[in-house]
């Protein structure tokens, strides 16, 4: 008896599964459309829309002499002679002599001073509005510590070649910008032609 019920149910489902799936999809679509209409009807035309504006952000040059050896690339691959592979590079690398001063691009608070085997000595600077500027491949004699407040253009480190993943590039500053924890192009805030 159990076998017959299972077999009948299986035959029934095989015959009508398409129609059940179609009916479920139509109900789901109708629900989504209904909810979107309800949502739109709750938005009133007289609600004032106030766009959030952020003052234009202009970074100071992080090093005195601007010599970009590797630019930011989010999708275009660049060759790493150290790692011997093609990869994106979500930072700007500035070549400079060992010991060249590295400067704060904006006023901010030092949130981290660490060493990472892959990126060397690192300083992270919180400049507000969800933006963190990361300076890597610095020498070990970092003149700032966590919690320090720094001014735009003040010294926060020295160029070195401590980033093991970029060691064949020679002494340089590796500069990253994080906006709400996502790496963004530092060129959006730097005008390297004027520096």
Higher model confidence: residue 192 or residue 50?
Answer: 192
pLDDT at 124 > cutoff 70: yes
Q: Of all residues in the chain, what percent carry a pLDDT higher than 70?
A: 84
Cα–Cα distance measured from residue 23 to residue 30, given in angstroms and rounded to the nearest whole number: 11
pTM of the model: 0.69
Q: For position 2, what pLDDT does the model report?
A: 52
Q: How confident is the model at residue 12 (pLDDT cuts 50, 70, 90)?
A: confident
CA angle (97, 99, 101) in 5-degree steps:
100
pLDDT at 49 > cutoff 50: no
Q: How confident is the model at residue 51 (pLDDT cuts 50, 70, 90)?
A: very low
pLDDT one-digit tens code per residue, 28-47: 777 777 776 666 555 554 54
Nearest to 186 by CA among 83, 102, 81, 70: 70
Q: Of all residues in the chain, what percent carry a pLDDT higher than 90?
A: 56
Cα–Cα distance measured from residue 173 to residue 166, given in angstroms and rounded to the nearest whole number: 10
Cα–Cα distance measured from residue 96 to residue 158, given in angstroms and rounded to the nearest whole number: 10
């Amino acid at each position: 008896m159990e076998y017959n019920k299972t077999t009948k149910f299986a035959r029934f489902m095989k015959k009508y599964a398409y129609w059940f799936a179609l009916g479920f999809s139509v109900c789901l679509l109708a629900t989504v459309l209904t909810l979107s209409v309800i949502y739109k009807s709750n938005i009133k035309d007289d609600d004032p829309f106030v766009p959030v504006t952020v003052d234009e952000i202009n970074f100071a040059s992080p090093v005195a002499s601007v010599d970009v050896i590797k630019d930011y690339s989010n999708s275009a691959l660049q060759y790493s002679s150290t790692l011997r592979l093609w990869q994106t590079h979500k930072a700007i690398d500035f070549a400079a002599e060992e010991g060249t001063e590295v400067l704060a691009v904006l006023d901010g608070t030092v949130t981290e001073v660490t060493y990472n085997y892959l990126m060397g000595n690192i300083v992270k600077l919180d400049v507000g509005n969800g933006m963190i500027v990361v300076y890597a491949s610095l020498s070990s004699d970092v003149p700032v510590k966590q919690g320090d407040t720094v001014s735009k253009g003040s010294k926060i480190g020295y160029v070195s070649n401590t980033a093991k993943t970029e060691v064949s590039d020679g002494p340089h500053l590796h500069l990253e910008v994080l906006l709400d924890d996502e790496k963004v192009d530092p060129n959006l805030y730097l005008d390297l032609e004027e520096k």
